[in-house]
Amino acid sequence: MLASNIKDLFNSLKKNKSLIITIGNIFRADDGVGPYIFNNLNELPENITCINAGDRPENIIDAAVIVNPDITLIIDAANFNGKPGEAKIITEDLIPDTTLSTHSFPPKIITKILKEDTGSQIYFLGIQPLSFDYKEGLTKEVKKTADEIVSTIKNIF
Amino acid sequence: MSKRNLNINVEYLTRVEGHGNIVVNVKEGSLEKCELQIVESPRFFEGMLKGRTIFEAQHITSRICGICSCGHTLASIQAAEDAIGFKPSEQTIKLRKLLLHYETLDSHLLHIYLLVAPDLLGVKSFVPLIESHNKVVRRALRMKKTCNDVCDVLVGRHVHPISAIVGGFTKLPTEKDLDTMLNMLKGMQPDMDATVELAASLKFPQFERDTEYIALVNDDKEYPFLMGDVGSTDDVRMHKNDYKKITNEFVVPQSSAKHTKLSRDSYAVGALARFNLNADKLHPKAKAVCDAIGMKPKVINPYLNTAAQLIECVHCVEDAINIIEDFKNKGINYDEKVLVGVNEQKNIKVNPGNGVGAVEVPRGILFHNYEVDEKGIIQKANCIIPTNQNVNNIEHDIKKIVPEILNKSDADITLDLEMLVRAYDPCISCSAHFLDVKFVGK
């Protein structure tokens, strides 16, 4: 069951020019939760844009700035020691400076540039993974949450 | 020399590709222990290859490294083609060179901006630079995106290429693709100039240790990345098939990565090795950068590997532009497009044999060696990656530098050692900016 503040956030997306960015690697089990949600979110209202950054957040910054959103929601797997599948809003100041890999830019750089260029409010929806194994597909705990997020967004929008 | 005691244990100097510790003990000014411990467990890629068809080897070995995936692909293809007796066309070779330029550029830029620049600009990681050096961060983003994009256009995606295979390419760039890549690279030139300007203003640590540098060499005018013999600054020159006589791998207790040596106790590979052996073959614009920043072979300061990477970035951009313009002038022969799969249709003749691939990837020379049977099934495989070849040399650098910097604080010594390891751009460098440093037993 998604927390009420997450539903409130989805409602505020509906009322504004909004951007949803999904991040993750589909070949690392639950890290693919962002792209999974992206693939299942279709027919969004005109005021809402969804961009899948995959495992290269730096590639979407120009597209994100062009959207010029009032609110941006970034969806990604996040290890916050919660229960597998738990979803939690993480405020911008708590997004870590680090990146899991030297192969890409830290997400915080992306959020800072987006905020600097557009003034967008930025929220991060983290989903606690169970597995980062080298495999495709989500664990059932994370898939359940991802499906709930998709259906909640569809209902609200 | 200072009579001080020092006990440094940097654990882990590490990230996804590997875990490493720096351990240094000095007692009353005398160096007692000095190790770069590689504690990563083996990954058994050679074992995975055994029994697989040679036509899927490049897709498997590409996964050895996310940032050198194109390099592993190309070394794998070269070894495979060498083993089965296939000669690639001139067009294929040129496209492979282009792909290698893209990866070298991508990897070097990431190292220069994300991993080295924070040290030289006095911050803990790349993120604070968004406040202090906003334009630098935005430039790095733009350049990295361009590298990802040109790779996408050429081989289908920016990591783990899918169209480069044994026999050639499954997709050849269209006229529009060539224009797209050319525009992207030309659009990158002003940012490259600014990167050179930034790098020229940075102060690298002063330290020198003469060592043997090893890289591909050739007799033509080309700065070799993809083909050639293996040469060294100690006047060794051997065919790539003799790679075992070059690397002379040996095991040490403190490292799960084998050490290597040739003419001396250790040798170095990478951008600085290539520069020291082939600087006269760089593109004129890259040579101009050498003059501007005072780089002239033989450079024996390992910290300047980063400067050599910068020079290679300029070379790769300019040479990539040349290659594409040449394709635009001469055209692409689309009849060369190949569909091989795992060679079910026997489009490529397979002879049993033993083949070696020797390719200069961003961190140095990479060897792949496969033995295949008459059906193209891999019987034996061996891969020797650049970071393995550098570990021994880094350890010897640390042994020399520690006594020279003992008058510094613990924090400064630790930083100097971390920067030294990072300068080699090892595959263990990814997390190097959030190290947990412990001083014990002082």
For residue B132, give the CATH number of its domain.
1.10.645.10
Least confident of B175-179, B228-232, B343-347, B427-431: B427-431
Strands A121-127 and A71-77, sheet pairing: parallel
Is B80 inside any structural domain? yes
Judged against a pLDDT cut of 50, whether residue B433 lies above it is answered with no
Tokens (6 digits) for B149: 């994009």
> What are the domain boundaries of chain A?
4-156
* A86 burial via Cβ count (<10 Å: 0-12, 13-18, 19+): middle
Alpha-carbon separation of residue B370 from B84, B222, B377 (angstroms)? 10, 27, 10
Is B335 inside any structural domain? yes
Residue type, position B29, single letter: G
Tokens (6 digits) for B192: 């490259």
Is B291 inside any structural domain? no
Residue B281 CB neighbour total at 10 angstroms: 17
- The candidate with the shortest Cα–Cα distance to B109, out of B142, B156, B134, is B142
Taking CB atoms and an 8 Å cutoff, what residues of chain A touch B126? Answer: 105-106, 109
| The total number of residues written for chain B in this structure | 442
Q: What share of chain A is helix, strand, coil (3-state, %, to 5)?
A: 40, 20, 35
Structure-token match 């959020």, residue found: A111
Is B414 inside any structural domain? no
Which ipTM did the prediction report?
A: 0.75
Please give the tally of structural domains in chain B.
Answer: 1
Residue type, position B389, single letter: Q
Is B410 inside any structural domain? no
Please provide the distance, in angstroms rounded to a whole number, between the alpha carbons at the two ends of chain A: 18
* B240 burial via Cβ count (<10 Å: 0-12, 13-18, 19+): buried
Taking CB atoms and an 8 Å cutoff, what residues of chain B touch A103? Answer: 66-67, 110, 159, 430
CATH number of A4-156: 3.40.50.1450
Domain carrying residue B172: 52-203+330-349+370-378
Is B174 inside any structural domain? yes
Is B128 inside any structural domain? yes
Query: What is the tens place of the pLDDT at every residue in B311-327?
Result: 999 999 999 999 999 99
> What's the gap in Å between the CA of A138 and the closest CA on chain B?
21
Residue type, position B11, single letter: E
Q: Does B148 touch chain A (CB under 8 A)?
A: yes
Is B270 inside any structural domain? no
- What is residue B102's predicted lDDT score, i.e. its pLDDT? 96
Model confidence at A106, pLDDT cuts 50, 70, 90, reads confident
pTM score of the predicted model: 0.87
Across B221-226, average pLDDT: 97
CB B426 within 8 A of CB B16: no
- What is residue B40's predicted lDDT score, i.e. its pLDDT? 66
Taking CB atoms and an 8 Å cutoff, what residues of chain B touch A97? Answer: 125, 127-128
Across A29-33, average pLDDT: 94
